[in-house]
């Protein structure tokens, strides 16, 4: 299969879709947010995961068209949930380095929000540390432009990159996402809770919220509660699920 040609076609012909993973308050167990994750339903090959097509999307520049689609689809979905459930739940969208550096991201985000009558904080943009440190000055300008429209900024896979406290302090970031490798280590005994504890402490002192990724066991959740980490994402609560399932979940929650 020529992955590039197929992906181009997939974007055009609506073979991409989003699933959503709930983000949960560690104390109350309530769903407080969702992360949108892209999937590809290929007519012959079946379901294709981003691990397989993101590298191609990034190499070929298709990630820009794909990213536009993700942004608009997520915003339309927020509007649909709002009108059907009468509640608004923030949705986080992952953004690749090329999208972030493109220069048009803030304008595209504003258009997607405006088109759906959304306020800024209903959308969260997830970037990785490496995306930011490539060029801190222009990253700062892009983040400032996004913040002007009120969207939230989350730092994905936090702790695995080259975080410097100086840029964390300088950039308008709202949230740290503790990388799931640190959470995984909690249960294997490979390390103690020192990294998650440090990140929660860092968040507290810088005024950032902190979410743990990849929580799979009750023991991990208990540890996060002990650390006063406010929210988590992971298979323990739910895998990424289709929009209709999210609607049932939020409907039950009230």
Candidate ranges 43-51, 82-90, 119-127, 145-153; the one touching Mn ion (CB under 5 A) = 119-127
Count of residues binding ligand G (CB under 6 A)? Answer: 22
Nearest to ligand G of 86, 126 (CB atom):
126
157 binds Na ion (CB under 5 A): yes
| Minimum distance, C-beta of residue 35 to ligand G, in the bound complex (Å) | 7
Q: How far is the CB of 156 from Na ion (least distance, A)?
A: 4
Residue with smaller CB distance to ligand G, 20 or 81: 20
DSSP state letters, 39-57: EEEETTTEEE-HHHHHHHH
Region from 11-19, 129-137, 149-157, 217-225 binding Na ion, contact rule CB under 5 A: 149-157
Q: Select the residue interacting with Mn ion from 156, 171, 182, 211 (CB under 5 A).
A: 156
Judged by beta carbon, residue 102 or residue 126, the one nearer Mn ion is 126
- Strand partners for 35: 21, 92
Residues whose CB is less than 8 angstroms from the CB of residue 179 and which lie 6 or more positions away in sequence, other chains included: 157, 158, 159, 160, 213, 214
Q: Does 76 bind Na ion (CB under 5 A)?
A: no
Q: Kindly tell me which of 6 and 175 has the beta carbon lying closer to Mn ion.
A: 175
Q: How far is the CB of 50 from ligand G (least distance, A)?
A: 4
Instruction: Compute the distance between CA of residue 103 and CA of residue 135 in angstroms, rounded to an integer.
Output: 13
Q: Is 156 in the site for Na ion (CB under 5 A)?
A: yes
What is the spatial distance between Cα 45 and Cα 12, in angstroms, rounded to a whole number? 17
- Asked if 245 and 34 count as a contact pair (C-beta separation under 8 A), the reply is no
Q: d(Cα 141, Cα 232) in Å, to the nearest integer?
A: 29
Q: Which residue is nearest to Na ion (CB)?
A: 157
Q: What percent helix, strand, coil does the chain show, rounded to 5?
A: 50, 20, 30
With CB atoms as reference, the residue minimizing the distance to Mn ion is 156
């Amino acid at each position: 299969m020529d992955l590039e040609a197929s992906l181009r076609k997939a974007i055009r012909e609506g073979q991409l879709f989003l699933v959503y993973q709930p983000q949960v308050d560690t104390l109350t167990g309530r769903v407080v947010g969702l992360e949108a994750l892209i999937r590809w339903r290929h007519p012959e090959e079946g379901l294709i995961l981003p691990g397989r097509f993101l590298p191609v999307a990034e190499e070929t520049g298709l990630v820009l068209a794909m990213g536009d689609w993700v942004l608009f689809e997520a915003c339309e979905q927020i509007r649909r949930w709002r009108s059907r459930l009468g509640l608004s739940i923030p949705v986080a969208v992952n953004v690749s380095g090329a999208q972030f550096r493109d220069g048009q991201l803030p304008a595209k985000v504003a258009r997607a929000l405006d088109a759906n009558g959304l306020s800024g904080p209903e959308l969260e943009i997830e970037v990785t540390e490496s995306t930011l440190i490539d060029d801190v000055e222009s990253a700062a300008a892009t983040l400032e432009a996004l913040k002007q429209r009120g969207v939230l900024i989350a730092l994905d896979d936090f702790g695995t990159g080259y975080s410097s406290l100086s840029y964390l302090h300088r950039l308008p970031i709202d949230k740290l996402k503790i990388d799931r490798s640190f959470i995984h280590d909690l249960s294997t005994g490979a390390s103690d809770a020192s990294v998650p504890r440090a990140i929660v402490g860092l968040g507290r002192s810088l005024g950032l919220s902190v979410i743990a990724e990849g929580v799979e066991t009750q023991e991990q959740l208990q540890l996060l509660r002990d650390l006063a980490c406010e929210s988590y994402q992971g298979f323990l609560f739910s895998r990424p699920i289709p929009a209709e399932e999210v609607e049932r979940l939020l409907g039950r929650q009230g």
